[in-house]
Chains A and B, each alone.
Chain A
């Protein structure tokens, strides 16, 4: 498997001082980002200014810390029914706008991680229309689920940013279709049983996604005719490669033989023993999916065959 290293944007992910960006750059990180809510605009602006001449992509997890500090899920009717404090859409929207404004001012290459709200998609769309060098991603779960997935206090549906409503999901799909959203990323976040088999507010955030991503997208978006398979493949391969300048995700002669073979007819039911991940924290357990990778080659070597890791 290809594993690339992302450098921290701020020291200790604390949003207080800029991390050692130059040293991280020389050590070979592909970009910078904390993947958690950021602090003051002053820190963010300074970090962007500092990162700009390094030419690498800066990624931001967009949630205003003061608006999500006590929240456990999307703020809406479902959170009201469950009596859980919410993480409102505005938390993301404000932060997306702030990051874009600071990226425009500093000229840094900005990538917005896992969009979840309709308005955030619109803000990115406007920025791109202005010609700003900003990119964005979305996860399979934000494209497929809604906050109803949390009903019954399902801790495997507890993620940040939270899964929101149908109107958001539709906007994310539109954004992916019109190119506002460049790529699909899993935000794969393994959690052990001790972190998920607890009361909902105490549970850790995140779900695993690597092994279900393609099958979910195929089943929910391609088979019903919402997306072309080639666009989904592009959003999973060549586009993320371009965002980080990896030179991968292509089959032109001379490139690395990183190849995934898809069987569009392969049907499987998500079950713990069919997952190679040690962690099983997925809300898609028990779901029947159609279409799956059946062979993976990395650098010319077969590493997965018949849904089992072989090297």
Chain B
């Protein structure tokens, strides 16, 4: 889907120029905040942004709220419990309600893939996807890309390795589309039943199940939490998964000395990653979170500022 006035629904279909445009604006906001702090700004004081989060979230929700307030927008936060959705109101009617009471932009996190596209097709206000089931998490991929480029420059000469649970990961999917648009060599590595080579290969990823075969060539390694219930669904024992794909000192020793370690968080320390790696000198895990605010400021500016057709 191209970047249009319906909002940011996913990365799939975006061009390199679309992505670089967002990241350039994010860099401008970053420079300003680093210079002046999150100083009060009333650029969008006459606008209302609603955050509809139907799944637990710490980073994404706070990061959007921080970005919205930093731009002076009025913020409506949806609480699942105590809402009419708890009384059986549909997602569609909840979205229509938010539009009717005057929101100018709707940020949605949902466990159901395609929710944002469904909402955007129904509403007149733009929608930003803050994660939809196993589909996409575009703002996460954008903040990752911004961080990767800060540390590694142009990604066209770089190998980016995504490790762990791929098939259930919305951020992995968004990252695949982002990295291919930006021209990186993108490798996906996980258990065979978690990364189906036939499908991801056709979408431009190199797929392997053997971490040792690729770890020494990666410039950037990105992992993620794996939900416990996934193992049961895939008929796999967690111990086998972690022994094969955990980022620990043994795996780090096989990496390039200046490899960048990234993780979308929440961290499950001792499972997919150990603290020595997460908190070590190669890690950009927490700086990436700060970049998330700038990326979201850029997107709010783009969709409220009317810079799009």
Which A residues contact B (CB, under 8 angstroms)?
76-77, 79-85, 152-153, 197-202
Q: Are B202 and A77 in contact (CB under 8 A)?
A: yes
Report the nearest B residue to A200, measured CB to CB: B114
A52 to B226, CA, bound (A): 50
Given contacts A80-B200, A83-B132, A83-B173, contact A200 B12 (CB under 8 A): no
Report the nearest A residue to B112, measured CB to CB: A199
Known A-B contacts: A80-B199, A152-B1, A201-B133. Give 18 more (CB < 8 A). Answer: A77-B199, A79-B199, A80-B173, A80-B200, A80-B203, A83-B113, A83-B135, A83-B170, A84-B134, A85-B134, A153-B117, A198-B90, A198-B118, A199-B91, A199-B110, A199-B115, A200-B112, A200-B114
- Which residues of chain B are near A153, meaning CB under 8 Å? 113-114, 117-118
Q: Are B113 and A76 in contact (CB under 8 A)?
A: no
Q: Tell me which residues from 121 to 160 in chain B have a Cβ below 8 Å from any Cβ of chain A.
A: 121, 132-136
- Which residues of chain A are near B1, meaning CB under 8 Å? 152
Q: Are B113 and A200 in contact (CB under 8 A)?
A: yes
A227 to B114, CA, bound (A): 38
Given contacts A77-B199, A77-B202, A80-B200, contact A200 B132 (CB under 8 A): no
- Which residues of chain A are near B134, meaning CB under 8 Å? 83-85
Report the nearest A residue to B196, measured CB to CB: A80
Q: Is the CB of B92 closer than 8 A to any CB of chain A?
A: yes
Q: Tell me which residues from 1 to 37 in chain B have a Cβ below 8 Å from any Cβ of chain A.
A: 1, 12
CB distance from A102 to the nearest CB of B (A): 26
CB distance from B90 to the nearest CB of A (A): 7
Q: Which of B90, B117, B199 contacts A152 (CB 8 A)?
A: B117
- Chosen A-B contacts, 10 in total, with CB atoms closer than 8 Å, are A77-B202, A80-B196, A80-B199, A81-B173, A82-B135, A83-B114, A83-B132, A152-B121, A153-B114, A201-B113
Report the nearest A residue to B133, measured CB to CB: A83
Which A-B residue pairs are the 7 nearest by beta carbons? A83-B135, A153-B114, A80-B199, A83-B134, A83-B113, A200-B114, A199-B112
A201 to B118, CA, bound (A): 11
Report the nearest B residue to A78, measured CB to CB: B199
Q: Are B135 and A197 in contact (CB under 8 A)?
A: no
- Which residues of chain A are near B133, meaning CB under 8 Å? 83, 201
Q: Which of B91, B115, B117, B203 contacts A77 (CB 8 A)?
A: B203
A200 to B133, CA, bound (A): 12
Q: Are A84 and B199 in contact (CB under 8 A)?
A: no
Q: Are A200 and B196 in contact (CB under 8 A)?
A: no
Which B residues contact A (CB, under 8 angstroms)?
1, 12, 90-92, 110, 112-115, 117-118, 121, 132-136, 170, 173, 196, 199-200, 202-203
CB distance from B213 to the nearest CB of A (A): 23
Q: Are A202 and B112 in contact (CB under 8 A)?
A: yes
Q: Are B136 and A83 in contact (CB under 8 A)?
A: yes
- Which residues of chain A are near B173, meaning CB under 8 Å? 80-81, 83
Question: Which of A76, A81, A83, A200 is the most central at the interface, judged by chain B CB atoms within 10 Å of its CB?
Answer: A83
- Which residues of chain B are near A200, meaning CB under 8 Å? 112-114, 118
- Which residues of chain A are near B112, meaning CB under 8 Å? 199-202
- Which residues of chain B are near A76, meaning CB under 8 Å? 199
Question: Which of B134, B199, B202 is the most central at the interface, judged by chain A CB atoms within 10 Å of its CB?
Answer: B199
A83 to B170, CA, bound (A): 7
A80 to B188, CA, bound (A): 14
Question: Which of B114, B134, B200 is the most central at the interface, judged by chain A CB atoms within 10 Å of its CB?
Answer: B114
Report the nearest B residue to A85, measured CB to CB: B134
- Which residues of chain A are near B115, meaning CB under 8 Å? 199
- Which residues of chain B are near A82, meaning CB under 8 Å? 113-114, 135
A199 to B196, CA, bound (A): 25
A201 to B134, CA, bound (A): 12
- Which residues of chain A are near B12, meaning CB under 8 Å? 81
Question: Which of B92, B113, B133, B170 is the most central at the interface, judged by chain A CB atoms within 10 Å of its CB?
Answer: B113
Question: Which of B117, B121, B170 is the most central at the interface, judged by chain A CB atoms within 10 Å of its CB?
Answer: B117
A77 to B115, CA, bound (A): 20
- Which residues of chain B are near A81, meaning CB under 8 Å? 12, 173, 203
Q: Which of A84, A152, A198, A201 contacts B92 (CB 8 A)?
A: A198
- Which residues of chain A are near B121, meaning CB under 8 Å? 152
A79 to B135, CA, bound (A): 9
CB distance from A292 to the nearest CB of B (A): 30
A117 to B154, CA, bound (A): 44
A152 to B10, CA, bound (A): 11
CB distance from B13 to the nearest CB of A (A): 9
Report the nearest B residue to A80, measured CB to CB: B199
A82 to B135, CA, bound (A): 6
A83 to B114, CA, bound (A): 8
Given contacts A82-B135, A83-B132, A83-B133, contact A199 B199 (CB under 8 A): no
A201 to B110, CA, bound (A): 12
